[in-house]
Structure 1
Amino acid sequence: MKKPILTLALMLLSLLTFAQNHVIPLWEGTPPLQNPSDLKEEATQQGILRIANVQTPSIEVYLPTKQIATGEAVVIFPGGGYGILAYDWEGTDFAKWLNAQGIAGIVVKYRLPISKSLTDPKEVPLMDAQRAIRLVRQNAEAWSINPSKIGVMGFSAGGHLASTVSTQYTHEVNRSKDAIDALSARPDFSILVYPVISFRDAAVHSGSRKNLIGENASQELMDRFSGELNVNAETPPTFLVHAQDDKGVPIENSLLYYQALHKNGVKASLHIYPSGGHGFGFGLGKGAVEGWRDVLLAWMKETIQ
């Protein structure tokens, strides 16, 4: 009887070790563009796990079993208006769902520009996003991931970040570099779910714009962080989904980005559902939008070669 108990204990220990080993800080020591401080991360669970004041950005890695692994990986950016992260609702829940499809899901706990410890807040989310993609490429072999099948997925303001790294993956700031920085930060595909795209007045989500670049930002800054203005022929193939009745982030955001992709000859798939509101996540119980994930999987199968 002792042997089965010992075997079970070792199995549980190995599972715990695996989980611990797969939460990986993005940076060694104090991250770039951040002052050392005694500020603490805040997490509250009120239906949704909301994380605020991130000081140690990280990736949380969920890998499928090798028997069903496709070699694809999706780096996930939860939304929250650049003020908080809806970490489970638009992060870990989707990583687990992707695992069931044989796809690795990597959730990024990125720093938020409203933190008082940051020295150049507007640059920090993009920097963390680039780093996350590079870290996945660095570990691709160990995690049974094809380094040319690494995409991004972003929700709301996380969609803005995903579109920003999709169009500004070569952007650099003055900081010390390491070997990981030599790897490409370009996503191979993008999945944008009710995304914030434009910081121009017609379609803007004012909260995201204020938190990222401030209330009185220059036109140059607003244009730089308006994804539709930065698309070119090298922008990754993109899947967009939005609800027509979204009162938080107008559908014009997805429409503008799709038009820019189409104009530049980039493969794109746009799906507008009549209802679902903002932040529908899986869309469960919200009518036709509940099927958007099946449409996404079909698109991925067709697009990712």
Structure 2
Amino acid sequence: MQDLQGKTAFVTGGASGIGLGIAKALLGAGMNLTIADIRQDHLDEAVAELGGGERVLAIRLDVTDREAFAAAADRAEAKFGKIHLLCNNAGVAVVGPTDLATYADWDWVMGVNVGGTINGIVTILPRILAHGEGGHIVNTASMSALVPAAGTTIYSSGKAAVVSMMECMRPELEARGVICSAFCPGAVQSNIAEAGKTRPEELSATGYAEADKRRQSGDQFFHLYQTKEEVGQRVLRGIMNDELYILTHSEFLDGVRERGEATTAAVQTHLPESEEYKRTFAILFRNPAIADEIGRQNALRADQLSEISAA
């Protein structure tokens, strides 16, 4: 999706952190912008920081509320017309030993990170397809989806799910004019550690109270993290390039490579293949969108190296 000028983006969790960084980049690219967020104070601050005037619509939204999501999309269309870009960015997290997790911990994180993403797709994808002008969906996942670490079971499981959504939807929707991308950032300067402040009372029973306290005091590491502006520009480039995987940090190369090598090594190549099975169910054995992404990323890398050499 290269022509962004005058089109409309809908960004959940758009009032702070990664979402605000994405919003700033999209606004700078000429888009009209709807930012939806559960915190009114963050929305007020974001509107002031964005300075977009009538090109920005701020809506308080709990992404787990399906009726409210539909009403927010209606408001965006009433103000700007058609929605072209959906960024499912709203997210929360708990971390710690899996055996400490309660049902409420699972339900809260999955409800927002997976359920909220589902609600965005079910609400807005039909609207994009209906106007026929093409569009783009970006799911904010995490490098934890690709290089999962001990102590992040709930968070990483949910983020892996939203990556898979994009991998499945990309070959299904690209021919219909809708590009799907999985955004997998590493550490970013955000306030996700404060997400517990908006945790519903009915889901408040947590096994991670002490871990949450430690996370909220972890801003001494912010100098190691990318800024919201850096990741916002990275998402913008990913959208412009139609990338399936939008990654941010080079430090994860070994982990990504090892996962690929481990799964490749686990394939039972000593067993005979059934050609009939492969022909009958060919769609199961290879995702063309992933194969295409190899060529796309190699071309982008060649362009980067050429620019560096020219400089």
Structure 1 length normalisation: TM-score? 0.38
Q: Higher helix fraction: Structure 1 or Structure 2? A: 2
Structure 2 length normalisation: TM-score? 0.37
Q: Higher strand fraction: Structure 1 or Structure 2? A: 1
